[in-house]
Amino acid sequence: MLKKIPFWITYVFLYVPIVVVVAMSFNAGDSPYSWSGFSFSWYAELAKDEQIRIGLGNTLLVATGSTVIATVLGTLLAVGLARHTRSKILDAIATLPVILPDIVLAIGLLAFYSLIQLTLGLYSVLLAHAVFGTAAVAAVVRTRLNGTDPSLEEASRDLGANGFTTFLRITLPTLAPGIVAGALLAFTLSVDEFVIAFFTAGPQSPTLPIVIYSMVRFGVTPEINALATVLLAVTFTAIIAAARLTRLTERR
Amino acid sequence: MKRSLERLTLLGPGLGYLTVLMVVPLALVLSYTIFQRGRFGGLVYEPTTENFLRAVDPLYLDVLVTSVEIAGVTTVLALLLGFPTAYVIARLPGKWKTIALVGLVLPFWTNFLIRTYAWIVLLSPAGMINDALTGWGLIDEPLQLLYTKPAIVAGLLYAYLPLMVLPLFAALEKQDDQLLEAAANLGARPAKAFLTVTLPLTLPAVITGCVFVFVPSIGNFVVPELLGGGQTAMVGNLIRDQFLKARDWPFGATLALILVAMLMLLLMLQAWSARRLTGDKNA
């Protein structure tokens, strides 16, 4: 029993802040600290908040756009790296976005955009997010590729199919679960990403994390608690749904 | 010929994209380290070593040392808490193991800023912890918990603890219990068995976990700003300020290069130790 103490500390440590934030979102008063009665008023406040609505719209646009780019590029890259090259350098380029500190990529992109005199807006964030998205998709698809048998592709070629047909009818369908998982990862990473967006977004086009950041910096209000609770509910539901879905498909 | 066309269509688009939007920007940052800042924030393309000399100025060196210190303490605490946690999870029965793992990553998938915000709510003078301590009569005046170094450590630990537990769990779960039984049969006490069997076998995972926690901690500028309240600057804050406030891009780029160089050294050390410890030439 004594041995399990650090285990319980970890979980208490992980969940106490979340429970406090969620509980305080239902506070009637305007302090996020002291309880003064139950109310949904901060959710009403949240629904009216124009900034948050703009931020959410921007985030969804950036995440969708960058995920589309990342899924196409990442899938092609994964197949290419696994089947057509042994180059360590190309490998390193494809994994670099995952290990590079986000602030370094952020300043690099800012410097690059400024050099080519691209006005910062929403698309500058979208293009930036596709960088680590591509790496994420490529990484996930490659783990799937490692588990598949290349002889299927060889058989298809031997039977007279050209490279394109083989890719479309054999490679893609076997990789489909990996591609979907990679796309989901790229989307989630983009929705949550703050640092790169902070450096590359135009002043008129903040993403949701940027809006949250300026709210938190400006001061704590229970409205942030309400927003946090909504985001938590969405994430928890999505994760549980994804877990159920993978269990269902695995069982089949 | 056909084969090379195929290779080009598969590798070309992705690598082209990463080259334009990652390799070129990084090369740009690298080149900025030897240039000077213009009077109005632009660049003067005259080579100089001034940026590097400035980075080792006690004022800035202090920030680097503080960053290493904070990220280091966070990593050690994550290991002390994460190792026993991973050990317990690895020995849970099937269903509970899954629940414990999902429970571990759930907070991790929630927005990073929200997780940091939660600690402001907890640590504020009027916050939960001070409230409880005064309520129990343990203290008379609220403690200054927020805007301190421990607050930054707490925020970073909260953000990255799962990254320590997961690799440790993977290694501990693979470990064969028969090895421990053999050690016990040969007369080793649990502590000795742990030190001579479990620890050496999990050392590569320990190092991986430490790298996973240390790397994002040291470059972080959000936690030091929100929980440190600008009292403690870390290298991430410094880089951010050089790019967005002071507009001294060459100096900011130099600091970024120093950060990357430190991390590269760490990753090389990790790869080297993984090779040594597993005796695998291909690892």
CB contact under 8 A, B110 and A84: no
A199 and A119 in a common domain: yes
Give the pair of three-digit tokens for residue B139: 């203290």
Chain A hits for B25, Cβ within 8 Å: 105, 108-109, 111-112
Tell whether A129 and A192 lie within a shared domain.
Answer: yes
- Write phi, then psi, for A15 (nearest 5 degrees): -105, -25
Q: Which residues pair with A119 in a beta bridge?
A: none
ipTM: 0.86
Comparing CB atoms, the residue among A103, A216, A235 nearest residue B110 is: A235
Residue A62 domain flag: yes
Domain range enclosing A245: 220-252
Q: Is B44 helix (H, G, I), strand (E, B) or coil?
A: strand
Same domain, A62 and A98: yes
A103 to chain B, minimum CA–CA distance in Å? Answer: 7
Give residue B282's pLDDT. 47
The answer to the question of residue A32 being in a domain is no
Give me the total of CB pairs closer than 8 Å, taking one residue from chain A and one from chain B.
232
Whether A213 is in a domain gets the answer no
Given a cut of 50, whether residue B283 has pLDDT beyond it is no
Percent of chain A scoring above 70 in pLDDT: 96
Pick the CATH number of B58-278 from 1.10.150.20, 3.40.50.1980, 1.10.3720.10, 3.30.2350.10: 1.10.3720.10
Q: Do A13 and B81 touch (CB under 8 A)?
A: yes
Give the SS3 label for residue A243.
helix
Based on the domain organization, do A161 and A80 belong to the same domain?
Answer: yes
Structural domain count, chain A: 2
Q: How many helices (H) and strands (E) does chain A have?
A: 12, 0
The tokens for A55 are 């931020």
Encoding tokens for residue B140? 């008379």
Within 8 A by CB and 6+ apart from B263, the residues are A99, A101, B215, B218
Are residues A227 and A151 part of one domain? no
Crossing angle of helices B94-105 and A222-251, in 10° steps, is 140
Q: What is the mean pLDDT of residues B1-12?
A: 78
Q: Which of B32, B111, B216 sits opposite A192 (nearest CB)?
A: B111
Identify whether residues A197 and A224 lie together within a single domain.
no
B221 contact residues in A (CB cutoff 8 A): 103, 195
Q: Mean of the per-residue pLDDT values for chain A?
A: 85
CATH of the domain at A180: 1.10.3720.10
- B254, with CB counted inside 10 A (0-12, 13-18, 19+), is buried
* A128 has a pLDDT exceeding 60: yes
Residues A200 and A231 in one domain: no
Residue A27 lies in a domain: no
Is B35:B45 a contact under the CB 8 Å cutoff?
Answer: yes
Residues A80, A179, single domain; the answer is yes
d(CA A94, CA B141): 54
Judge if A142 and A250 occupy the same domain.
no
The pLDDT value recorded for residue B26 is 93
Residue B2 has pLDDT above 70, yes or no: no
In a shared domain, residues A137 and A236 = no
